[in-house]
Structure 1
Amino acid sequence: MQIHFVLLISRQGKVRLTKWYSPYSQKERSKVIRELSGVILTRGPKLCNFVEWRGFKVVYRRYASLYFCMCIDADDNELEVLEIIHHFVEILDRYFGSVCELDLIFNFHKLMMYLKNQAYYILDELLIAGELQESSKKTVARVIAAQDSLVETAKEQANSLSNMIAQATK
């Protein structure tokens, strides 16, 4: 099974995350996002979560105010993709469990960049080249925690180096 792209779209039609595993030009990407946003956002809640589109299938699922969408070949298994979407959402939920609405209000820009970057890291641990790489939530969580630890260590070293340079130049 090959996933061609992943889109996270808000109920207002704003794109929150995109990951392209098949080659699309920037113009084509914009057109795809515009088309699929129009199709998915206007569908009723009682309709199935699969849409035939340009010879492909787009599988989507709404969680809270976000639509998680994945494009697959027409003959691929839609239920497997729904499971991958749910798996991704569970990992995101586990990782970002402490984020609340007040965090979003008071630290919006900083937090949104952090959330977006971390969501990309998690997606990259889950899917590689459009194929499921890791099915264990614990393994993904462990790898992301190790990465967070490395980032914190690098920041501390950079701050320490900056302090040493500042003191040396006084």
Structure 2
Amino acid sequence: QIHFMLLFSRQGKLRLQRWYTSLPDKDKRRISREIIQLVLARHHRTSSFVDWKDLKLVYKRYASLYFCCAIEEQDNELLTLELVHRYVELLDRYFGNVCELDIIFNFEKAYFILDEFIIGGEVQETSKKSAVKAIEDSDMLQETVEEYMNKPAF
């Protein structure tokens, strides 16, 4: 089970966070700062797995963004790395070669894609095709609603 997922830049700016365990906001901020500092301080040739408190951190850097998940000690790190990669593939498929600016300016879409893929810390949809279709359907619905709202009422 994933406890949380953080996306942050090489400069240490948090771009996306999804928590699957309930914690006070103050603790979330402290944990985020601590993990960002820990991951950024590591040499790029070291392992992508870090024991942290009673959890394991699994992270991977794609371009200027780090994707970091906290999992249980007994969970499979390689499977978690594969989940991170699948999320990046979904983002790429939606945005077309996703970059940090896509996440910044379309964070609601990035959250939607994540929530279509992982719910409650568990993988819900393994099919890229199904996840992308749900996202495209949502976009279509949003466009339809916007068109409807922009039409005159008379």
TM-score (normalizing by structure 1)? 0.86
The residue number in structure 1 matching 2:139 is: 148
Structure with greater Cα Rg: 1
The residue number in structure 2 matching 1:22 is: 21
Distance 1:33 1:98, change over 3 A: closer
Moved over 3 A (4+): 98-101
TM-score (normalizing by structure 2)? 0.94
Q: Following superposition of structure 1 onto structure 2, how do residues 4-153 of structure 1 map, counting pairs within 5 Å?
A: 4-97=3-96, 112-113=104-105, 115-153=106-144
Q: Is the 8 A contact 2:63 2:99 kept in 1?
A: no
Distance in 1 (CA, whole Å) between partners of 2:134 and 2:99 is 24
User: Which SS does the other structure have where 1:156 is aligned?
Assistant: helix
Structure 1: state its 5+ residue gaps. none
Distance in 2 (CA, whole Å) between partners of 1:152 and 1:37 is 37
Q: Is the 8 A contact 2:91 2:98 kept in 1?
A: no
Structure 2: state its 5+ residue gaps. none
Distance 1:56 1:146, change over 3 A: same
Aligned length: 154
Greater percentage in helix? 1
Percent identity among equivalent residues? 49
Displacement after TM superposition at 1:112 (Å): 3.3
